[in-house]
Chain A
Amino acid sequence: MDLNALIKEFGLDVKAGAAHLDREVTGGYASDLLSDVLAHGGEGSIWVTLHIHHNIVAVASHKGLAGIILVQGRQPDQDTLAKAEKEEIPVMVSDLSAFELVGRLYKAGIRGAQAD
């Protein structure tokens, strides 16, 4: 499933990186600890988080993530958006809570990485 399909299916609001939505989503990761994502986020994964500050873009870029979904309708900071455009990382917003969203993503076939 690519990001476009994900956005359509879950009614996500695209905030940044609209030009990079044809990327295939190969897995998912949910965490609000940035070091945890740095350690365990898989390349091509979609990341579900409630953080809105620009450090999330750096983390996503370093790990080669497919994109970031902010939960509970949280709006990203302006510098987050600017950085996301620069780093070509799609940032999307969902009105759902993290638990709900992850559950639905899983149901749609997106799987988490195996624990190591």
Chain B
Amino acid sequence: MAQDLKRRAGDDDRVTRTQEMLYELTVGEVMSDNVVTVHPDQTMSEIRILMRDNRISGAPVVENGKLVGMISIEDLINALLEKRIDVPIREGMTTDVDCLYSDESLVHCIAKFYRLGHTRYPVLNRKGELEGIITKGNIVEGLLRKLEIEYEQTETKVSAARQRPAMRKFFEDVFADEISFTFKYNIVGQTLQHAGTAASELKNALKKLGVCPPLLRRIGVAVYEAEINLASYTQGGEIRATIEKWGVSVEVLDSGPGILDVEQALQPGYSTAPDWVRELGFGAGMGLVNIKKCSDEMDFTSSVPEGTHLTMRFYFTS
């Protein structure tokens, strides 16, 4: 097997994943730890029944917790030929046993399989106690199991990638010097009656385009706060969300009255909210703080009485 793998790899001079796994997996991970063992005082004829019933072709011989030999179908045939079928296993077993340690890598293990030619090896821990048994079947099974796990993980990743922003896929497929999509929402000022509609509509639109939920939530919260600000403090304005290759940029513009001290407005808890806004649960001086927290980048400029210009950027990669 190792040779085969090596030959295949040699064709394109590249280490295959399966080869790599031989280095990652240990004997202990693939061996079967449910071992049928026999005692040296049992007879050779008993082992015949044991092998038949358990569908095994060999077993470790254990006495007082120590491995003292191996018994195989070959030993049994020899005993039959020599008509020594009723002697104790002690007399018919192989005592010169090649072993593997459970912390050895599969690469060593396979090399041993080829070098020594046995079909099974008892597996010991470093204290010399029997932990299991390993056959070529165990190695193949172990490799398949690991490949299956990795395959499943890849599948999950692939299906996650399939749900990637439809927009991003679009950007990958279409070529132009500049591509962007803009959603524009007009916000009525001085009333909270309709406030929040734009944010939730934008969120729906981005959701349909495949923007992932955590990013969607950040954009939703930030735009909602900005919308509440427009509705609470300004004569009205607009929210412009532009989807770019790198992410979403949201601009919030109003037509006044503007903010005198921008630094102060950005302080948590600072608010100029009138009572009617506070009664509705807003005006705690947290809006801009939330916007800053939710966006990857934020620009905020204002002049009196022209108005305020807020830009938020959200990156697809964050």
| Segment at the A interface, from B95-103, B149-157, B287-295 | B287-295
Q: Which residues of B contact A62 (CB under 8 A)?
A: 199-200, 203, 217, 220-221, 224
A57 vs chain B, min Cβ distance (A)? 8
Q: Which residue of B lies closest to A54 (CB)?
A: B196
Q: Are A55 and B280 in contact (CB under 8 A)?
A: yes
- A55 with B192, Cβ < 8 A, contacts A39-B286, A62-B221, A64-B217 known: yes
Q: Are B221 and A38 in contact (CB under 8 A)?
A: yes
Q: Which residue of B lies closest to A35 (CB)?
A: B286
CA distance A49 to B282 in the complex (A): 13
Q: What 1/0 flags go to A60-80 for Cβ under 8 Å of B? A: 011110000000000000000
CA distance A39 to B281 in the complex (A): 14
- A35 with B196, Cβ < 8 A, contacts A51-B281, A55-B280, A62-B203 known: no
Cβ of B225 under 8 Å from chain A: yes
A interface residues, how many (CB within 8 angstroms): 21
- A55 with B196, Cβ < 8 A, contacts A35-B282, A35-B284, A35-B290 known: yes
CB proximity to B under 8 Å, residues A6-45:
32-36, 38-39, 43
Q: What 1/0 flags go to B189-210 for Cβ under 8 Å of A? A: 0001001100110010000000
Q: Which residues of B contact A58 (CB under 8 A)?
A: 195-196, 199-200, 224
Q: Are B200 and A36 in contact (CB under 8 A)?
A: no
CA distance A53 to B221 in the complex (A): 18
Q: In the complex, which of the residues B195, B200, B225 contacts A38, with contact meaning CB atoms closer than 8 Å?
A: B225
CB proximity to A under 8 Å, residues B268-318:
280-282, 284, 286-287, 289-290, 293
B280 vs chain A, min Cβ distance (A)? 6
Q: Which residues of B contact A51 (CB under 8 A)?
A: 280-281
Cβ of A56 under 8 Å from chain B: yes
CA distance A110 to B93 in the complex (A): 65
Q: Which residues of B contact A53 (CB under 8 A)?
A: 192, 280-281
Q: Which residue of A lies closest to B288 (CB)?
A: A35
CA distance A61 to B280 in the complex (A): 17
Q: In the complex, which of the residues A39, A43, A55 contacts B290, with contact meaning CB atoms closer than 8 Å?
A: A39
Q: Which residue of B lies closest to A41 (CB)?
A: B221
Q: Which residues of B contact A34 (CB under 8 A)?
A: 228, 280-282, 284
Q: Which residue of A lies closest to B203 (CB)?
A: A62
B278 vs chain A, min Cβ distance (A)? 9
B207 vs chain A, min Cβ distance (A)? 12
Q: What 1/0 flags go to B57-72 for Cβ under 8 Å of A? A: 0000000000000000
CA distance A33 to B196 in the complex (A): 16
CA distance A54 to B197 in the complex (A): 11
CA distance A51 to B283 in the complex (A): 14
Q: Are B284 and A36 in contact (CB under 8 A)?
A: yes
Q: Which residue of B lies closest to A56 (CB)?
A: B281
Q: Which residue of A lies closest to B287 (CB)?
A: A35
B288 vs chain A, min Cβ distance (A)? 9
Q: Which residues of A contact B221 (CB under 8 A)?
A: 38-39, 62-63
Q: Chain B interface (Cβ within 8 Å of chain A)?
A: 192, 195-196, 199-200, 203, 213, 217, 220-221, 224-225, 228, 280-282, 284, 286-287, 289-290, 293
- 6 more CB-based (< 8 A) A-B contacts, given A35-B225, A39-B289: A32-B281, A34-B281, A36-B286, A38-B225, A51-B281, A53-B280
Can you list 19 A-B pairs, Cβ within 8 angstroms, ordered by A?
Answer: A35-B287, A38-B224, A39-B286, A39-B290, A39-B293, A49-B281, A51-B280, A51-B281, A54-B196, A55-B196, A55-B228, A55-B282, A58-B224, A62-B203, A62-B220, A62-B221, A62-B224, A63-B217, A64-B213
Nearest first, the 5 closest Cβ-Cβ pairs linking A and B are A35-B286, A58-B196, A34-B281, A62-B220, A33-B284
